[in-house]
Amino acid sequence: MRILVLEDNETLALGICHVLKTAGYAVDILSDGVEGKQILEYEPYDLLVLDLGLPNLDGIDLLQDLRKEQSKIPVLIISARDKLDQKILGFESGADDYLCKPFALEEVVVRVNALLRRTLQDGLSHIFIGDLVFDTNSRTLTCKGERVELSFRETSIFEQLLTHANQVLSKENIASHIAAFDDDFNPTAIETYISRLRKKLGSSVTLQTIRGLGYILITKKT
């Protein structure tokens, strides 16, 4: 899954980026509110980590604009504005979570995991598909109790397919959700990862190629 971090403190932004990438997420960083608003209009991010004190466009104004435009992207506010009325304003403006500075970087990962879990199968902590069990907290997969070893990229692709289970996703759609701007990634590599996933998932799940359209993870009979 792909995350945008909007934070004008470079040290903090890089720290958040590091822990999120270590957790297996694709991450982009921007420090300007206007630039952030513009990129959110055409890049399909799965979550926004939003500082409020941004130059050129305040985080609250950006968030309110997103919600007016019917954007449903999960938003985690990180801010030094720790007064109750400021937190209330953040939630009323459309934030899904609010984390006050200073905080441990590891807590960002926990909050992000919790928010993204809501997009997977009604927010369940464990998703069952045949003999497979996907733990949405640890982002790990098991089959009959045995760990299925997936790379970060394979995990991200599996999550994207699982988030849109029973829907056809194109290579471009999948690639746009698993690779950041600075990643050297070619969408044609999706074919290779899908092939590897099929071998690792075995007969427990149906992962089909729809010629000319993309791929579909089938989790229910139609």
What is the domain partition of the chain in residue ranges?
Answer: 2-117, 121-218
pTM listed for this prediction: 0.80
CATH class of 2-117: alpha beta
Give, to the nearest 10 degrees, the angle between helix 190-201 and helix 171-178: 90
Does 121-218 match 2-117 at the fold level? no
| Fold of the domain spanning 121-218 | Arc Repressor Mutant, subunit A (1.10.10)
The one-digit pLDDT tens for each residue of the chain (222 residues) are 899 999 999 999 999 999 999 988 999 999 999 999 999 998 889 999 999 999 999 999 999 999 999 999 999 999 999 899 999 999 999 999 999 999 999 999 999 988 988 777 566 678 887 778 888 888 888 888 889 899 888 998 988 888 888 889 998 888 888 888 877 777 788 899 999 988 888 777 788 899 889 999 887 654
